[in-house]
């Protein structure tokens, strides 16, 4: 959505956020396009900052921050592999990989890698991603409930015209792409 300015938004957050501190009201997330605005527009409560932003070293807004902190913690990897926002983005990237990336797994993975990192996929990483894609394909082909669970993350509608197990496999690989050190630190 191409929009500048506007009121603060409440994106996806963990269940129970603000429950104790919000007088029992709890956190009520937005719906529709507001879920997908940049974090610049995210509503902050002084006592409970957005957990995703805290895990990625966002300043606490209690004092001026001139320099950005840079850490690398296991919580960041857990966020990137399990957060609804990232899983939904991985599904959407996978839908595009399957529609725009060609027909072969190699072409689709190369397209997705280039879309995320803006550079071509080298042969050693191609082999790793292909192996992961094959493993995920086998897993989801033989076990549909985990595939459905992965593909129902987030509020955006799932593409019904794409093969469920194949889409789940590419979603898992897209999640791996989002968790690469090169993706996180933009080297």
> Is pLDDT at 47 greater than 60 in this prediction?
yes
In a 3-state reduction of DSSP, which class is residue 19? coil
Strand partners for 45:
48
Q: How many CB atoms lie within 10 A of CB 18?
A: 16
The structural domains of the chain, with segments of one domain joined by +, span 1-71, 75-185
Give me the chain's average pLDDT, please: 87
Give yes or no for residue 20 having a pLDDT over 70: no
Average pLDDT over residues 39-49: 74
pLDDT, tens digit, for every residue of 52-84?
788 888 777 777 777 777 777 888 888 889 999
Output helix, strand, coil percentages for the chain, rounded to the nearest 5. 55, 0, 45
């Amino acid at each position: 959505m191409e929009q500048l300015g506007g009121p603060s938004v409440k994106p996806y957050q963990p269940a129970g956020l603000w429950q104790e501190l919000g007088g029992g009201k709890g956190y009520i997330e937005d719906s529709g396009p507001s879920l997908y605005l940049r974090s610049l527009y995210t509503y902050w409560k002084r006592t409970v900052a957005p957990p995703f932003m805290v895990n990625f070293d966002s300043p606490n807004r209690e004092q001026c921050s001139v320099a950005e902190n840079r850490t690398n913690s296991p919580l960041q990897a857990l966020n990137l592999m399990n957060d609804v926002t990232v899983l939904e983005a991985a599904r959407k990237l996978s839908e595009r990989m399957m529609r725009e990336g060609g027909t072969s797994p190699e072409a689709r993975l190369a397209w997705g890698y280039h879309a995320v990192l803006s550079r071509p996929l080298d042969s050693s990483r191609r082999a790793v991603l292909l192996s992961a894609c094959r493993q995920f394909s086998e897993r989801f082909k033989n076990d549909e409930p985990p595939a459905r669970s992965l593909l129902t993350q987030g509020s955006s509608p799932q593409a019904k015209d794409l093969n469920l197990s194949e889409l789940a496999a590419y979603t898992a690989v897209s999640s791996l792409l989002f968790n690469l050190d090169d993706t996180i630190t933009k080297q």
